[in-house]
Amino acid sequence: MSIEISLEGQVALITGGASGIGHAAALRLGQAGARVVVMDRKAEADECLSDFATHHVDGRYIEADVTSAADAQRAVRYTIEQYGRLDVLFNNAGIIRRRTVLTLDESDWDLVMAVNVKSIYLMSKEAIPAMVQTAGGGSIINTASGWGVVAGTDAVAYCASKAAVINMTRAMALDHGRQNIRVNSISPGDTDTAMLRGEAAELGQPWNSFRQSAASRPLARIGEPRDIADAVVFLASSLSAWVTGSNVVVDGGGLAGTI
């Protein structure tokens, strides 16, 4: 007996959805029947919408800044105007700076915290009332990281921000369960995205050797955006109806021997 995941009739808003994990999630949510709105700062609307058409996804694109309260409000309002409801918020936007406390500029600390943590506060603040009013509840999924569970080197702001995401997720689950809002986080391992390739460049390491090192885990490969996107679909669906306040690790076993 096979189980088909259907999100037919649901609407999902995805931050950082122009590329990488966010874009893969938009496609997978759309293929499961959801209508999707992608929010990103990058001027990649044409390419994103072209992918939607190729994969038969009913989707929209809004250029907005996740660190802006006005843009968060505008994105949620746009989603309701386009589709009449909001069921799923995937807070995926994120950045990394590979620095220690001694080498990290204060401006970069502030930027990492704003994009990785503050954005979840701003987006959720707007989305939760809209979910309750238009859909009777919903699912919020926050992108954390394995480095929010255990620390990594030369990434102090990123590690701090992702640990904050995990505990913020738990706090939100406690606060909003009575409104039928489920809140969970996903902690990907190293995944083949532009951000990971940027890390290699920032550290001055050739991509092939960086990738080989990152693949040193039980399943012997780094992740693909689709791997994480499938977990997003699960957390958005009724198959996870009794799952909230959880951090789902999707990392090929990378953390299995460390926690």
255 within domain boundaries: no
231 within domain boundaries: yes
Paired tokens of 32: 């499961």
Provide the annotated active-site residues: 158
Mean pLDDT, consecutive 10-residue segments, the chain of 259 residues?
Answer: 83 95 97 97 83 95 97 98 98 96 98 98 98 98 97 96 98 98 96 81 82 86 95 97 98 88
Measured distance CA(10)–CA(19) in Å, rounded: 22
Question: How many domains in the chain?
Answer: 2
Task: Looking at the structure, tell me whether residues 61 and 154 fall in a common domain.
Answer: yes
Task: Looking at the structure, tell me whether residues 90 and 205 fall in a common domain.
Answer: no
Task: Looking at the structure, tell me whether residues 152 and 211 fall in a common domain.
Answer: no
Task: Determine if the pTM surpasses 0.85.
Answer: yes
Task: Looking at the structure, tell me whether residues 42 and 163 fall in a common domain.
Answer: yes
Burial readout 84-103 (b: 16 or more C-beta within 10 A, e: otherwise) = ebbbbbbbbbbbbbbbeeee
Residue 95 sits in a domain of what CATH number?
Answer: 3.40.50.720
Task: Looking at the structure, tell me whether residues 199 and 104 fall in a common domain.
Answer: no
Q: How many CB atoms lie within 10 A of CB 185?
A: 28
Measured distance CA(232)–CA(259) in Å, rounded: 23
Task: Looking at the structure, tell me whether residues 53 and 67 fall in a common domain.
Answer: yes
4 within domain boundaries: no
Task: Looking at the structure, tell me whether residues 88 and 214 fall in a common domain.
Answer: no
6 within domain boundaries: no
Task: Looking at the structure, tell me whether residues 142 and 180 fall in a common domain.
Answer: yes
Under 8 Å between Cβ of 164 and 171: no
256 within domain boundaries: no
155 within domain boundaries: yes
Measured distance CA(214)–CA(209) in Å, rounded: 9
Tell me the per-residue pLDDT of 16-66, one tens digit each, with 9 for 90 and over: 999 999 999 999 999 999 999 999 987 778 888 999 999 999 999 999 999
18 within domain boundaries: yes
30 within domain boundaries: yes
Amino acid at 214: A
The residue to which tokens 């502030």 are assigned: 110
CA 154 to chain centroid, in Å, comes to 22
The residue to which tokens 């919408």 are assigned: 49
Compute CA distances 137 → 8, 46, 76, 88, whole Å: 16, 32, 15, 9
Task: Looking at the structure, tell me whether residues 179 and 69 fall in a common domain.
Answer: yes
The range of the structural domain enclosing residue 138 comes to: 11-188+224-247
Task: Looking at the structure, tell me whether residues 217 and 235 fall in a common domain.
Answer: no
